Amino acid sequence: MEVDRMKTLVGSMDGKGPAEALRIVAELQREVARSEAGLVRSARQSGLSWEAIAQSLGVSKQAVHKRYGRR
């Protein structure tokens, strides 16, 4: 599960130097992007509008549709 992976990554940052911590942050960002994409797909399949998804993400309807609309 993505959440468990993210928790593990966050926990692994303790005591790391800046370079290693940055690598972990980059990996966390990739995990979050994958999770977001999956949740957007699920939301659309459940009938949520692009506007509702955009509001949940705190972005414009156009931004969310541009990013996920053609997948």
> Tokens in use for 56?
């949940």
Of the pLDDT bands very low, low, confident and very high (cuts 50, 70, 90), residue 66 is very high
pTM for the predicted model, two decimal places: 0.82
Domain that holds residue 41: 2-68
pLDDT at 2 over 90: no
Report the half-sphere exposure of 64 (CA within 13 A, side-chain side): 21
Q: What is the DSSP letter of 49?
A: -
Helices (H) and strands (E) in the chain, counts: 4, 0
Q: pLDDT, tens digit, for every residue of 3-20?
A: 888 889 889 988 999 999
Contact present, 52 and 28 (Cβ < 8 Å) = no
The span from the CA of 1 to the CA of 30, in Å, is 14
Q: pLDDT, tens digit, for every residue of 8-59?
A: 988 998 899 999 999 999 999 999 999 999 999 999 999 999 999 999 999 9
